Structure 1
């Protein structure tokens, strides 16, 4: 995600006193006109962070509104005016030359924060939005001046997961009275597969569902869902092998300009040859979706295990940290920065070893190159990412420091200083070596950060890892300090956010306008038919 901090407020010390940049990096800043209830224009500064919308008058904070509280957006189709409608507060009526950039970033953050809520987008023909502005006096009497439903821009909306499912069911139920839309055949012959290089493409429409009766893959359950689609647990019929199938909607990739990132993710998955990185066995695509077929890692998310344990003992942290450093060091040697290292992106296999997943934010970064993009999870962002100073692969080592610390529930960071808790008061044990490792990984100056000089090898040479046989660890010859308790049943997915409702196995409905958009951009997905 590129930063649109046009006013460079991320480096403004006065603004930093009012916005906690360490947890709320700025995504957008710009000069606007705020329009009040009497339609008078007022000079203001608009700021969007990963969590909130701020309105400043010069350097004075006038309004702070949570993105998660946003109900709808009303925009003029003939001017650059728009309204942010907050049902529990008041409307923010704005004129902004960079409206589209702001709204694109706002929608992306809303999708991340409120996956169960639909963000409604209205488009009205009039240049002035006065009649749709819900003022404080309107609120007092319970009046919402929203446009009528026929003015909704359905193709631009961020839909909740439940609404996608409802639309899918409605469409399925209407098949008998409308032109029949065939279901997508998801198998080796009718889908384009990179692994077997069949090259055959399906001419069937991909509007609604992946069938599970006659296909090579039998869908079992949904392991999770995200902005770009769902992840299914599936069984390969010919040998009962379990796979995780990541279904990615092409229209959403186009909307958020993520096609190139997904190509890189594909390349990384196919080229991964490391015991602690997940790879990919097959890739299929239909007219509307990509399907990444990866081995199923049964132990689930490290985050879920961490939640159940609350704290990992130091020897377990050492075992995990070594594997992460080896895996990230391998990526760095290939010129790749992961950029989204966190507990949720690490899986545990049945033997208790780790697999790092999700290369959706990964980037090729050269030896002396800096990336100016802004991405990642707020709690794990390195200072150079937050300040938009330009970053390289060393952001991953900062994230490792946060990971190690969070696994032990050790520290707080205050004014860039790492503070460790009192051992007696909190009844916690930790060594001087782990303290030194965390302090050196969490150096604000990346040139002083552990790993800056020698990358993963420098980290693994730290005294904290001295008692661990790294070669045996890499060969999976060390007995894991923890193994997830997994039953022999296929449906044992307790370490995932799985859903067993059969309706979840139905693919979400894609509106006709978005289908046309994907068709126009079909050449952008040609590279997904090869491993190179």
Structure 2
């Protein structure tokens, strides 16, 4: 029998007049069951899978969360305290998938590819299949301490529905008492940032391909209700043929049932004016960041720079980008329209697709990778991580020991295996 994760009386908001009605709610297995009392027949079942959106409001009275199963009416439930709200949220986020049965014992660690505050990315070889994966490990205690548990679930859930040629694919996810793990497609070409540092800039024909591929990836995400929010060369990988792969969805925002958000996040030099102003924003912030990326790939630096954050933000909000004298007219027009301060007037996919900057490129052919970048990363015959920073690849190739995180109920059900990956 399935284990009860959390249960108790909550207040349900009526759909007709908005009155609150007391209900007994149980989270068990992968279901939320709502009844009038502990003994009454259930009046609603909600299957907590990837098609259920969970939104919360902790700054209103009473604190509440809303569940919206795909194609169904939303249901809003209120708790007595913010602490109780967080307990429910943590359990519901953890309900979405059964355990995958995969552990790190199934892999040999070849190399460290990158590292951040919450964990690292390792190049790993699966012992029984010889498949190669990039496994992202994240410390649970650091997520809990920073109140960022939701970000790893968001990243997993976004990647699960982001099946696209220019987005890394999620193959599996699992966890231990101390860490969560995301098994990702390995892009052996390394970070675009690594190559940008090495070359200083890229030829315009290659930049056209990179930006067209990125635009298609972003358009796909936007059509699926996701804002990426963290475009920068460090988050763009290259595959073996030199095509882009967008990665690291830790800051992604699912807007399936909203049109905007207000969270202040991202990399400062890539922030759109509406983010800097802490205004409500939508997918247009990604098109702004694409403009910054285009400029940086061509010139080796971003158009808005300052060691003083206040001056940087003022420049983003008030100053037009300055272009080198050699910049051609179509490039200036393209970047300037992506960097329009007004998100309503900023270029989107329709304008991008037909702009002369792309010199007549057919975006359907871009999607099929018919345009080949002149720069193709050197890929060794073995699995040496040649295109990654030696700062990381020289680290010991091992999965480190981490501090336990108490009961760890926040992460129940995180694990997942994509169809066809098997065990």
Shared fold by TM > 0.5?
A: yes
Q: What is the match of residue 367 of structure 2?
A: 474
* Distance verdict in 2 for CA 1:432–1:252, change over 3 Å: same
TM-score, normalised relative to structure 2: 0.69
Q: Which residue of 1 aligns with 2:400?
A: 507
In structure 2, the partner of 1:494 is 387
1:216-240 per-residue CA deviation (whole Å, 9 max, x = no partner) reads 2111111111111111111112232
Residue 526 of structure 1 is matched in structure 2 by 412
Change in CA separation of 1:439 and 1:357 when aligned onto 2, cut-off 3 Å: same
Distance 1:412 1:530, change over 3 A: closer
Q: Helix, strand or coil: the match of 1:281? A: strand
Change in Cα spacing, 1:442 to 1:220, as seen in structure 2 (3 Å) is: same
Q: Is the 8 A contact 1:277 1:327 kept in 2?
A: yes
Take 2:134 and 2:357, find their aligned partners in 1: how far apart are those partners?
A: 35
**Aligned-partner Cα distance in 1 for 2:341–2:287:** 11
- The 8 Å contact of residues 188 and 387 in structure 2, kept in 1 or not, is answered as no
Q: Which residue, out of 266, 276, 289, partners 2:156?
A: 266
Query: What is the DSSP-based 3-state SS (H/G/I as helix, E as strand, rest coil) of the residue aligned with 1:471?
Result: helix
- Please list, as runs of the form range in 1=range in 2, the aligned pairs for 1:395-474 lying within 5 A after superposition: 395-409=285-299, 412-413=303-304, 415-423=318-326, 430-451=327-348, 456-474=349-367
Q: Is the 8 A contact 1:416 1:444 kept in 2?
A: no
Question: 1:336 & 1:279 partners in 2: Cα distance?
Answer: 16
Equivalent residues of 1:270, 1:531 under 8 A apart: no
* Cα displacement string for residues 171-226 of structure 1 (whole angstroms, at most 9, x for unaligned residues): xxxxxxxxxxxxxxxxxxxxxxx99x665598xxxxxxx6xxxx321111111111
Contact persistence 2:205–2:373 (CA under 8 A) = no
Count of residues in correspondence between the two structures: 311
1:30-45 equivalences under 5 Å are: none
Corresponding residue of 1:327: 217
Higher RCO structure (Cα 8 Å, ≥6 apart): 2
What's the CA shift for 1:281?
A: 0.6
Separation in 1, partners of 2:102, 2:113? 27
The question of 1:217 aligning with 2:103 is answered no
Do the aligned residues in 2 keep the contact of 1:323 with 1:474 (CA within 8 Å)? yes
Report the Cα distance in structure 2 between the residues aligned to 1:406 and 1:288, rounded to whole angstroms. Answer: 38
Q: Is the 8 A contact 1:411 1:420 kept in 2?
A: no
Give yes or no for the alignment of 1:372 onto 2:258.
no
Correspondence list, 1:129-528, <5 A: 200=101, 215-366=105-256, 369-409=259-299, 412-413=303-304, 415-423=318-326, 430-451=327-348, 456-497=349-390, 499-500=392-393, 503=396, 505-510=398-403, 515=404, 518-522=405-409, 524-528=410-414
Judge which range, 339-348 or 486-495, deviates more. Answer: 486-495
1-structure distance, mates of 2:319, 2:176:
48
The alignment partner of 1:347 has SS state of strand
Whose radius of gyration is greater, 1 or 2?
1
Give the aligned CA root-mean-square deviation in angstroms.
2.5
Instruction: Determine the C-alpha separation between the residues in 1 that align with 2:397 and 2:383.
Output: 18
User: What are structure 1's unaligned runs of at least 5 residues?
Assistant: 1-193, 203-209, 424-429
Query: Secondary structure of 2:214's partner?
Result: helix
Q: Structure 1 residue 481: deviation in Å?
A: 2.0
Do 2:274 and 2:281's aligned partners in 1 also have CA atoms closer than 8 Å?
yes
Contact 1:234 1:242 in 2 (8 A): yes
Three-state SS of the structure 1 residue aligned to 2:129 is coil
* 1:142-172 per-position Cα deviation (integer Å, ceiling 9, x unaligned): xxxxxxxxxxxxxxxxxxxxxxxxxxxxxxx
Shift of 1:502: 6.6
Partner SS for 1:355: strand
Q: How many angstroms apart in 2 are the aligned matches of 1:530 and 1:506?
A: 20
User: Post-superposition shift, 1:467?
Assistant: 2.1
- Structure-2 separation of matches of 1:304 and 1:275: 21
Q: TM-score under structure 1 normalisation?
A: 0.55
Distance 1:506-1:355 versus aligned 2 partners, 3 A rule: closer
Q: Give the gaps of 5 or more residues in structure 2.
A: 1-95, 305-314, 419-423
CA contact (8 A) 2:109 2:397 kept: no
